[in-house]
Amino acid sequence: MYEDKTLVCNECGAEFVFTAGEQEFYAEKGFQNEPKKCKACRDKRKNATRETREMFTAVCAECGGEAKIPFQPTSDRPVYCSECFAKRKAQ
């Protein structure tokens, strides 16, 4: 029913494919208009409005390495680096 279409991005002028699956999704959601921007430009716009998270540095309670975390560490709870956290979660 649907066929892939090649569209031109309004922002950067690059060609991008509006796939048959995307067209079917748009139809299911009731969207009337085709996309005007390529994925890269949509992502750039979405990320421009997103606030950057403040990251804090702490010492990993398991390996002693540096851990970057998105919250202010407190002394009453252990903090783990990404690798140690993943190991603990898998156990």
Please check whether residues 45 and 71 belong to one and the same domain: no
Please check whether residues 9 and 41 belong to one and the same domain: yes
Is it the case that residue 68 has pLDDT exceeding 80? yes
Mean pLDDT for the chain overall? 92
Q: Alpha-carbon distance 36 to 39, whole Å?
A: 10
What's this model's pTM, rounded to 2 decimal places? 0.53
Please check whether residues 36 and 69 belong to one and the same domain: no
The tally of domains found in the chain comes to 2
Residue 63's domain comprises 56-90
Q: How far is CA 46 from CA 1, 26, 37, 88, in A?
A: 31, 19, 12, 33
Q: Alpha-carbon distance 22 to 6, whole Å?
A: 12
Please check whether residues 60 and 30 belong to one and the same domain: no
Please check whether residues 10 and 44 belong to one and the same domain: yes
Cβ pair 15, 1 in contact under 8 A: no
Is it the case that residue 4 has pLDDT exceeding 90? yes
Please check whether residues 45 and 9 belong to one and the same domain: yes
The percent of residues in the chain predicted with pLDDT above 90, rounded, is: 73
The dihedral built from the CA positions of residue 24, 32, 4 and 15, taken in this order, carries a sign that is negative
